[in-house]
Amino acid sequence: MSGVPARTLLLGADGGIGRAVRDRLEALGSSVTGAGRDDVDLARSGVIAPFVRTAWTDAGGFDALVHCAGLYPAHPALDTGEDVFDRLIAVNTRSALLAGAEFARLCAADSRGGAMVFVSSGAARRARPGTTAYAASKAALEAVVRGLALETAPLGVRCNAVAPGFVDVASPLNPVPREYVAAVSAASPQGRVARAVDIAPAITWLLSDEAAWITGQSIPVDGGDSIGSATANWLPHTTR
């Protein structure tokens, strides 16, 4: 892969996808500055832009930003309170916008281009029970990606997203019943759910020079989940 960023700021580095992205970028020669929950609380107001500025100064600048921090609570729409919704928007959407905007400002001030990739979700376009607030935060994130891409293109900055289907990272922060994992696996055209290592190659490719003509897009990386369900069979079990 050509043109991998020399230095990358990775938000959400302690999550399953974040660890896989870090491993792949470092294997390709990128120096990665990772930030996890213990480094910055993305739910708090007024912290993300200063954090990005400080990390930029300490590292001597970045060529890329990856935002794969996120919350995935399962709450039926009728049981979703303001606190849950506000926290989802703060972490999944607001922090992405503010981190991306600060990264672009710093790139412009340093007269350098850059690339950003955000982790969205297939939920942004496909409803599932229990994901209404989460899906709203990811749909808003994809709007942020398009807006950032349009406004930062004159600065030489690209902005894209990947939209995984369900990724089994066994997160203690976002626990998921194993019965749900089994049901999603059965419905997938691939017959399984994604692993973090299935998502990382698309992210690193979007950061590279090989994707230089792609910006403002959200690319499904879902094993075919977005094309339909393997278990929704309405055809009679007969042949003619």
Q: For 206-226, how does the pLDDT look when each residue is reduced to its tens digit (9 = 90+)? A: 999 999 999 999 999 987 777
Q: Counting every residue, how long is the chain?
A: 240
Q: Please, are residues 100 and 65 in contact by the beta-carbon 8 Å criterion?
A: yes
For residues 149-155, average pLDDT: 98
Please state the domain extents for the chain.
7-220
Residue 56 vs residues 33, 49, 61, 158: alpha-carbon distances, Å: 9, 11, 5, 18
pLDDT at residue 194 tops 80? no
Residue 67 vs residues 71, 96, 162, 214, 226: alpha-carbon distances, Å: 12, 7, 11, 18, 22
Whole-angstrom Cα distance, residue 118 to residue 160? 6
Q: Looking at residue 239, what is its pLDDT?
A: 46
- Of 165-169, 185-189, 222-226, the range with the highest mean pLDDT is 222-226
List, by residue number, the catalytic residues: 134
Topology of the domain covering 7-220: Rossmann fold (3.40.50)
Q: Please, are residues 183 and 130 in contact by the beta-carbon 8 Å criterion?
A: no
Number of H-type helices and E-type strands within the chain = 7, 6
pLDDT at residue 240 tops 50? no
Residue 65 vs residues 31, 144, 152: alpha-carbon distances, Å: 12, 15, 13
Q: Looking at residue 58, what is its pLDDT?
A: 98
Q: Please, are residues 125 and 139 in contact by the beta-carbon 8 Å criterion?
A: yes
Choose between 155 and 176: higher pLDDT: 155
Whole-angstrom Cα distance, residue 140 to residue 160? 14
- Give the closest residue to 169 by CA, choosing from 41, 68, 90: 68
Q: For 60-108, how does the pLDDT look when each residue is reduced to its tens digit (9 = 90+)? A: 999 999 999 999 888 899 999 999 999 999 999 999 999 999 999 999 9
In 73-172, alpha helices (H): 82-88, 95-109, 132-152
Residue 136 vs residues 43, 81, 107, 219: alpha-carbon distances, Å: 16, 14, 30, 18
